[in-house]
């Protein structure tokens, strides 16, 4: 058995930074019980030289074990802990195909912390029937309330195909402008177009479709990735995407208190504070009760859904019941219940994951 120390990234904002060690501790525990066969033990928050670490013991990790751990959301560096407080660096191999500014450069009110977005995606991937496939094949991800695309950008960073929906036209336009500019400025070979989606002469929404190559060589050889975003109501996601077509559904549900949650329509997180109208609700539970059965049909057997939400306006038991009623198997170990953390005075965030049997 060897002892390891995970240096927690110092790049978080102040509030998230206070929770980062505890969150990555829970994330590491989920990795251990799902993809690593229980070979990780004794996970603790520690201080080494006055710097926060998460330490753990592991039984002779295989190269793929280190590759998996390299993607932990708050990992800055990994060390093997030797005698006399010596630290031996362990080379990490994250999946990242693009620079981190793809996630960090956008700044706007209501943006989900990019480290938490990575954590939510990771934990959802660990809930699938084959979590180690995160390294072995290209997952396809869907975010039905994608806003300005933080989750889509994280999926793109991992080399996944990604699709999203959002009912807010301004968010759709903002994401389209950002991603096309970013791809151009970083000289990523791609094609992008925005088209209207028509059925029987009626316009149902707009679609942004991007085909890109992580390298010029991959683009020329046809080894491309796809990003698709639909500007329409996610309650009708099945009208725009085929059944059984996604490995992961990952979304940050409306927080309710600060941004408003729409009981009709896909997204309330970005609604202006104080907006008037009968379509605003303080809880995302009603929305998810209507939407989850529709989204479940888009999941492949063995795929998983991960949702984060504000616990002040929705109980974990309510979300678990919604997921179970849709035929999903909720992940409910102690590690899965250890992600609740404070975002601000009005938001206490948690996450829940569930797998489609098969």
Q: What is the CATH number of the domain that holds 80?
A: 3.30.70
- My answer on whether 127 and 259 are in the same domain is yes
Predicted local distance difference test score (pLDDT) of residue 10: 84
Among 90, 124, 151, identify where a domain stops: 90
Residue 61: predicted pLDDT: 81
Q: Domain check: are 63 and 121 in the same one?
A: no
The 3 state secondary structure assigned to the chain is CEEEEEEECCCCCHHHHHHHHHHHHHHHHHHHHHCCCCCEEEEEEEEECCEEEEEEEECCCCHHHHHHHCCCCCEEEEEEECHHHCEEEECCCCCCCCCCHHHHCCCCCCCCCHHHHHHHHHHHHHCCCCCCHHHHCCCEEEECCCCCCHHHHHHHHCCCEEEEECCCHHHHHHHHHHHHHHHHHCCCCEEEEEEEEEECCEEEEEEEEEEECCCHHHHHHCCCEEEEEEECCHHHHHHCCCCCCEEEEEEECCCCCCCCEECCCCCCCCCCCCCCCCCEECCCHHHHHHHHHHHHCCEEEEEEEEEEEEHHHCCHHHHHHHHHHCCCEECCCCCCCCCCEEEECCEEEEEEEEECCC
Q: What is the pLDDT of residue 59?
A: 83
Say yes or no: 141 and 8 in one domain: no
> Domain containing 202: what range?
101-355
> What's the confidence (pLDDT) of residue 281?
52
Query: Are 36 and 139 members of one domain?
Result: no
The whole-number mean pLDDT for each consecutive block of 10 residues of the chain, a chain of 358 residues, reads 92 80 96 94 92 91 92 96 88 95 90 94 98 95 97 98 97 97 97 94 94 96 97 96 98 69 43 37 83 97 97 95 98 97 93 96
- The answer on 59 and 141 residing in a single domain is no
Domain boundary among 55, 90, 125: 90
Residue ending a domain, choose from 90, 119, 138: 90
Domains of the chain: total = 2
79 and 117 share one domain: no
């Amino acid at each position: 058995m060897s002892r390891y120390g995970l240096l927690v990234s110092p790049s978080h904002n102040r509030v998230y930074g206070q929770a980062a060690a505890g969150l990555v501790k829970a994330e590491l525990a989920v990795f251990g019980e799902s993809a690593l066969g229980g070979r990780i033990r004794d996970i603790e928050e520690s201080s080494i030289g006055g710097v926060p670490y998460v330490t753990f013991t592991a039984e002779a990790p295989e190269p793929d074990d280190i590759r998996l751990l390299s993607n932990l959301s708050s990992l800055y560096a990994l060390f093997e802990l030797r005698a006399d407080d010596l630290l031996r660096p362990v080379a990490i191999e994250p999946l990242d195909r693009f620079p981190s500014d793809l996630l960090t450069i956008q700044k706007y009110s209501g943006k989900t912390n990019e480290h938490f977005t990575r954590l939510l995606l990771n934990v959802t991937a660990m809930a699938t029937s084959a979590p180690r496939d995160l390294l072995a094949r290209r997952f396809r991800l869907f975010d039905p309330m994608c806003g300005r695309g933080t989750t889509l950008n994280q999926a793109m960073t991992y080399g996944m195909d990604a699709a999203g929906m959002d009912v807010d036209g301004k968010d759709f336009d903002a994401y389209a402008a950002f991603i096309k500019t970013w791809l151009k400025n970083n000289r990523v070979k791609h094609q992008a177009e925005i088209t209207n989606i028509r059925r029987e002469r009626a316009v149902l929404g707009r679609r942004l479709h991007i085909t890109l190559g992580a390298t010029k060589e991959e683009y020329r050889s046809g080894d491309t990735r796809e990003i698709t975003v639909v500007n329409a109501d996610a309650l009708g996601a099945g009208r725009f995407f085929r059944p059984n077509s996604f490995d992961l559904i990952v979304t940050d549900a409306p927080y309710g208190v600060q941004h408003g949650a729409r009981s009709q329509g896909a997204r309330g997180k970005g609604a202006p504070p104080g907006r008037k109208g009968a379509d605003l609700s303080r809880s995302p539970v009603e929305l998810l009760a209507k939407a989850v059965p529709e989204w479940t049909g888009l999941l492949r057997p063995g795929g998983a859904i991960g949702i984060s939400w504000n616990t002040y306006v929705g109980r974990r038991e309510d979300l678990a019941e919604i997921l179970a009623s849709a035929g999903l198997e909720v992940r409910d170990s102690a590690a899965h219940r250890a992600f609740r953390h404070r975002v601000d005075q009005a938001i206490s965030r948690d996450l829940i994951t569930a797998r489609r049997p098969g």
